[in-house]
Amino acid sequence: MSFEKFELHAKIMACVQTAGYKVPTPIQLESIPPIMEGRDVMGIAQTGTGKTAAFVLPILQRLMQGSRGYVRALIIAPTRELSEQTHNAIRQLGRRTNLRSASIYGGVNINGQINKLRRNVEIISACPGRLLDHIVRGTVDLSKVEVLVLDEADHMFDMGFLPDIRKIVKRLPAKRQTLLFSATMPEDIRLLANDLLINPVNIKIGHTVPVETVTHRFYPVQMDTKINLLKDILDKTDMDSVLVFTRTKSRAKSVALQLDKSGYKVTSLHGNLTQQKRQQSLDGFRDGRYAIMVATDIAARGIDVTRISHVINYDMPETTDAYTHRIGRTGRADKTGDAFTFVTGEDLGLAHSLKKVLGEKLEYQSVDGLTISMLIDRAPSRRNSRGNGGKPNNGRKLFSPQARANSRPKQRSFDSSNRSQWAH
Ligand code: AMP
């Protein structure tokens, strides 16, 4: 099955080819036809499944017909990074269409956005707060919007955006097409969908469990030895690009600082940084200048860096859904990835829930005599099925030789004497 079947405009098809998309992903296969028919769609899809193109392509197709010069499609997303990413996807897939798009989010000067909106755009990719600012100032006109997309709706709910979204929706024509995408379907999103969608086509791709292409491993650890465990894993595991999650902004900053001092090529992404700094971190991580990025959930939500080989949950996420989202940063677009999660005594409740979700895919690692499997449910620890993780690093491109030389911590509590425990 190829993209030809959708009978997209030749200018859009040319961009699909340039993007290197050969066959549609399952979410694209299922959602592009009904969206092109003008139906409302509720899509439950995991991150990294190609859902951006699933709504961007039909929107571009629709906008090729009809007048230009006013806002006809509005995409609302929870974070600046996701909003920017969607804007980039529109630019990439719509390059030859001459359709204009703008990304609208806070943390940057509003005047540039006002100027951009004055020059007339057909598509807006926005975060709710700043979009409301523009509505209040009268600098955006949404009265002719034909398509509304709510992306990562569950996260908009988590972040308290639903009231803002309802205010924005009041500014839109009642007669419109509405598409809602979410990785999970909590009750509040179901209610929102009931209110906003008319006779929607329901599409569910996979279950709300982490993508199949990811291997999951739990490491038992004590809070004060996490940093040593992290360095040990970074040194001994064959990794391309690593995203490390912490629970708070200050921990993201401090973990990044500690790694930096030890000579690792690391950056951080969290809400205390200016938008410019956030973009620099993300760009540096994306183009490989930084092999490691330490981030909080909010900051890393929705980011699309295709080559992330490992996600490390330095701090356990708050919920199983949050785990799904973090892990969705790796194993994207059919690549494989590894997810390592540090589990302290406090995290055992959630570890148990995750074990149920992950089932057979979960592997346990013993560290310094600690075995998580015994703590969770006395299940025997399993051998690593992907073969490579846990082995000493063969020097693949994670660190420059100099950085590696500098990266040896002075004191190591997880030293070579423990290696047998790592190298199953
Ligand atoms: P998304 O889930 O929209 O964030 O997409 C994840 C990644 O998959 C992005 O890097 C897309 O460019 C890529 N992608 C989307 N659709 C396809 C496709 N049909 N073939 C290959 N890659 C794709």
Cα 58 to ligand 1 centroid, rounded to whole Å:
15
Residue 340, Cβ density class (10 Å: 0-12 exposed, 13-18 middle, ≥19 buried): buried
Cα 342 to ligand 1 centroid, rounded to whole Å:
29
Question: What pLDDT score does 347 carry?
Answer: 87
The tokens 């620099």 sit on which residue?
280
350 has pLDDT over 50: yes
> Which residue lies with its CA nearest to atom 16 of ligand 1?
50
> Which residue lies with its CA nearest to atom 11 of ligand 1?
50
> Which residue lies with its CA nearest to atom 21 of ligand 1?
21
Counting atoms of ligand 1 from 1, which one is nearest the CA of 45? 2
d(CA 129, CA 17): 35
Q: Categorize the per-residue pLDDT at 103 as very low, low, confident or very high, splitting at 50, 70 and 90.
A: very high
Give the tens place of pLDDT for each residue, 155-207.
Answer: 888 778 999 999 999 999 999 999 999 887 888 888 999 999 999 999 987 54
147 has pLDDT over 90: yes
Question: What pLDDT score does 335 carry?
Answer: 56
- Are 94 and 125 in contact by the 8 Å Cβ rule? The answer is no
pLDDT: which is higher, 126 or 400: 126
Cα 48 to ligand 1 centroid, rounded to whole Å:
7
Q: Categorize the per-residue pLDDT at 383 as very low, low, confident or very high, splitting at 50, 70 and 90.
A: very low
Question: What pLDDT score does 279 carry?
Answer: 86
Question: What pLDDT score does 409 carry?
Answer: 30
Mean pLDDT for the chain overall: 82
Mutate to test the pocket of ligand 1, among 2, 31, 49, 52 (most ligand atoms within 8 A of CB): 52
Percentage with pLDDT > 90 across the chain: 52
CB neighbours (10 Å) of residue 202? 13
d(CA 252, CA 127): 23
Cα 303 to ligand 1 centroid, rounded to whole Å:
12
391 has pLDDT over 50: no
Cα 49 to ligand 1 centroid, rounded to whole Å:
6
Mean pLDDT within 313-340: 77
Cα 182 to ligand 1 centroid, rounded to whole Å:
16
Question: What pLDDT score does 373 carry?
Answer: 57
Counting atoms of ligand 1 from 1, which one is nearest the CA of 52? 3
**Which amino acid type is present at position 135?**
I
Cα 355 to ligand 1 centroid, rounded to whole Å:
28
Cα 248 to ligand 1 centroid, rounded to whole Å:
29
Mean pLDDT within 121-131: 97
DSSP letters, 153-181, are HHHHHHTT-HHHHHHHHHTS-SSSEEEEE
Q: Categorize the per-residue pLDDT at 372 as very low, low, confident or very high, splitting at 50, 70 and 90.
A: low
Which has the minimum average pLDDT: 53-62, 69-78, 393-402? Answer: 393-402
Counting atoms of ligand 1 from 1, which one is nearest the CA of 92? 12
Cα 231 to ligand 1 centroid, rounded to whole Å:
31
Mutate to test the pocket of ligand 1, among 16, 21, 282, 303 (most ligand atoms within 8 A of CB): 21
Question: What pLDDT score does 160 carry?
Answer: 85
- The residues, any chain, with a CB within 8 Å of residue 65's CB and separated by 6 or more, are none
Counting atoms of ligand 1 from 1, which one is nearest the CA of 89? 12
Domains of the chain, start order: 3-205 (3.40.50.300), 214-421 (3.40.50.300)
Mutate to test the pocket of ligand 1, among 3, 55, 151, 332 (most ligand atoms within 8 A of CB): 332
> Which residue lies with its CA nearest to atom 4 of ligand 1?
48
Confirm whether pTM is higher than 0.75. Answer: no
> Which residue lies with its CA nearest to atom 18 of ligand 1?
21
420 has pLDDT over 60: no
Cα 256 to ligand 1 centroid, rounded to whole Å:
29
* Residue 255, phi then psi, degrees to nearest 5: -65, -45
Question: What pLDDT score does 206 carry?
Answer: 59
Question: What pLDDT score does 148 carry?
Answer: 98
Q: Categorize the per-residue pLDDT at 404 as very low, low, confident or very high, splitting at 50, 70 and 90.
A: very low
Q: Categorize the per-residue pLDDT at 301 as very low, low, confident or very high, splitting at 50, 70 and 90.
A: low
- Are 93 and 19 in contact by the 8 Å Cβ rule? The answer is yes
358 has pLDDT over 70: yes
311 has pLDDT over 50: yes
Q: Categorize the per-residue pLDDT at 264 as very low, low, confident or very high, splitting at 50, 70 and 90.
A: very high
* CB-based pocket (< 6 A), ligand 1: 21, 24-25, 28, 47-53, 304, 306, 332-333
Q: Categorize the per-residue pLDDT at 300 as very low, low, confident or very high, splitting at 50, 70 and 90.
A: low
Percentage with pLDDT > 70 across the chain: 80
Mean pLDDT within 345-358: 82
> Which residue lies with its CA nearest to atom 1 of ligand 1?
50
Which has the minimum average pLDDT: 13-22, 46-55, 149-158, 187-196? Answer: 46-55
d(CA 8, CA 94): 12
